[in-house]
Amino acid sequence: MSQHRHPGAPGRAGAVPALPDLPEATVARLPEYLRALHNLAETGHETVSSEGLASAAGVNSAKLRKDLSHLGSYGTRGVGYDVALLIDQIEYVLGLTQRRAVALVGVGNLGHALAGYDGFVSRGFRIAALFDADAARVGEEINGLVVRHIDELPRVAAEEAIAIGVIATPASAAQSVADQLVAVGVTSILNFAPCVLSVPEGVDLRKVDLAIELQILSFHEHRKASLTALPATGGSALTALPGGLAVTDPQEAIGT
């Protein structure tokens, strides 16, 4: 765990670049591999094959091998990957060897839950400060942290090296908060507010919108429903969905 050296790599010197620029898709999967690896380590596995790790992470084994090859990680042919070594390597690449400080802005419904979410802590992060603009919420203690007013952000940022800002405010406040975070030097932002933010170049921005996920599922529900509602009797009567929408049959090609 506290081991920062990575022993045991084959003799070739300089074979592992410091920070290869990985495909974004690979980066997005590394955390999943990491979680699967931790599970494996806890259950006593010392090595794992690409097939085994892939299924534990829910991906294709060829994809996993290619991902790992991108970061220069060496498995052993005929054996597999060393679990502990791979954990170290991925954690290093993801920059998890230092426990990054996270500032959470917006302690409403969702923010409150995020402040208490132990998944952040258990996976390499440290919630360094909580902020809110609502004076009524300032002073409240959540999970051992006191909510500060957003105006104190500059002062707190000067004390703690805040690496990542999390925005859990209403949409109307999000852009302003983002600007303030950028102003104090934060270069990575995770946005939970349902709105588009604009940030200067060099600042990384990711967004999580819970309602959007549901809407995507809703689309698939809708599609499945319309398909099953049409057994095979093409064309005859248009089936009406509960909402009142007439549905033409799938072979709408007749129109074109």
Partner DNA sequence: AGGCGCTTGTGAAGGCGTGCACAAATCGCG
Partner DNA sequence: CGCGATTTGTGCACGCCTTCACAAGCGCCT
Residue 220 binds to DNA (criterion: CB under 7 A): no
253 binds, among its own copies, DNA, none (CB under 5 to 8 A by kind): its own copies
In the list DNA, its own copies, none, the entry touching 194 (Cβ below 5 to 8 angstroms by class) is its own copies
In the list 24, 118, 141, 159, the residue contacting DNA (rule: CB under 7 A) is 24
Per CB under 7 A, which region of 78-86, 115-123, 210-218, 230-238 contacts DNA? 78-86
- Residue the block writes with tokens 């030097």: 185
The answer to whether the beta carbons of residues 127 and 104 sit under 8 Å apart is yes
Max alpha carbon distance in the chain (Å)?
72
* Residues 107 and 139 sit within 8 Å (Cβ to Cβ): no
Per-residue binding string, DNA, 81-110, x by CB under 7 A, is: x-----------------------------
Q: Do residues 48 and 40 touch, judged by C-beta distance below 8 A?
A: yes
The percent of the chain in helix, strand and coil, each rounded to the nearest 5, is 40, 20, 40
Figure out which of the listed residues 8, 23, 139, 154 binds its own copies, where binding follows CB under 8 A: 8
Q: Which two tokens mark 124?
A: 């390499």
Q: For residue 134, which of 149, 144, 119, 121 has the smallest C-alpha distance?
A: 149
Nearer to DNA, 3 or 60 (CB): 60
Does 55 engage in binding with DNA (CB under 7 A)?
no
Using CB under 7 A as the binding rule, whether residue 51 contacts DNA is answered as yes
Check: CB of residue 66 under 8 Å from CB of residue 91: no
The verdict on 175 binding DNA (CB under 7 A) reads no
Decide which of its own copies, DNA, none touches 95; Cβ closer than 5 to 8 Å per partner kind.
Answer: its own copies
- Residues 84 and 88: their CA atoms lie apart, in Å, by 6
Contact 129, 150 (CB under 8 A): no
Binding mask 57-96 for its own copies (x = CB under 8 A): xx--------------------------x--xx--xxxxx
**Beta-strand (E) ranges in the chain?**
47-48, 81-82, 100-105, 125-132, 141-142, 145-149, 162-167, 188-191, 204-207, 239-240, 246-247
Q: Please give the residues from 1 up to 20 whose contact with DNA meets the rule CB under 7 A.
A: 10
Considering only 47, 49, 61, 239, the residue that binds its own copies (CB under 8 A) is 239
The site partner of 17 among DNA, its own copies, none (C-beta below 5 to 8 Å per kind) is: its own copies
Q: Nearer Cβ to DNA, position 53 or 173?
A: 53
42 is an interface residue for its own copies by CB under 8 A: no
- Name the nearest CA neighbour of 133 among 182, 165, 157, 168: 168
The contact set with DNA (CB under 7 A) reads 10, 23-26, 48-51, 59-63, 65-66, 68-69, 73-81
